[in-house]
A and B are shown apart, each in its own frame.
Chain A
Amino acid sequence: DAKTTQPTSMDCAEGRAANLPCNHSTISGNEYVYWYRQIHSQGPQYIIHGLKNNETNEMASLIITEDRKSSTLILPHATLRDTAVYYCIVRVVMDSSYKLIFGSGTRLLVRP
């Protein structure tokens, strides 16, 4: 299983972009990178995923390096409600679905 490395914690100012890095140097060619976040007392929430192209949705952007060994999740205008633990995950494919192996994540604090 490919492993990911993330900083333990980060902070950013409200209204500014939050850039959360992730290293996944052992990722295989067909493995996707998924990002989830977990706000206190809630279940993990899906944010975005990608294979090799950059991706954007209403929540965030995902930038994946050309060699796919690292990626960055970008929250363009962080709000206080974005304070959460963010998990970068390389999924493991199983039969009809896949397995998510969660690491320790990055605890993001958005400051007023």
Chain B
Amino acid sequence: DAGVIQSPRHEVTEMGQEVTLRCKPISGHNSLFWYRQTMMRGLELLIYFNNNVPIDDSGMPEDRFSAKMPNASFSTLKIQPSEPRDSAVYFCASSPDGHNQPQHFGDGTRLSIL
């Protein structure tokens, strides 16, 4: 069965450019999470959606970051304009509803901003 699918796997771009990361959650999962991982800060939760609605975006670092979930099978995380300090691995995870369901992670997008 297909897991969480993220694209692209790698992205290299120059600072100031817009970056869009994409995620397809596991079919039937109602919750979707965006995380960021850096050497300095480890894995951090950026934003969480439930039934396509953003519930908690307290982890989004600043206004340059935005996330959308237009339907149950697709989400985007956008950075505009990008900066070198945004370089990190970005993970998407999904889970079914319920407080006892594990989150399943994609393999991430490795983003490098030059």
Residue from A32, A44, A87, A104 with most neighbouring chain B CB atoms (10 Å): A44
* CA distance in complex: A101, B41 (Å): 12
B82 within 8 A of A: no
The count of A-to-B residue pairs whose CB atoms sit within 8 angstroms is 59
A96 pairs with B30, CB closer than 8 A: yes
Write the chain A residue with the least CB distance to B43.
Answer: A102
* CA distance in complex: A99, B57 (Å): 12
A43 pairs with B93, CB closer than 8 A: yes
Classify chain B: how many residues form its interface, as a range. Answer: 20 to 34
* CA distance in complex: A45, B107 (Å): 10
* CA distance in complex: A98, B31 (Å): 9
Main secondary structure of the interface of A (DSSP, over half): loop
Q: What mask results when residues 82 to 112 of chain A are scored 1 for a CB within 8 Å of chain B, else 0?
A: 0000010000011111111111100000000
- A97-B102 contact, Cβ under 8 Å, with A42-B107, A43-B108, A103-B42: no
Binding site for A on B (CB under 8 A): 4, 30-31, 42-45, 48, 50-51, 55-56, 91, 93, 95, 97-108
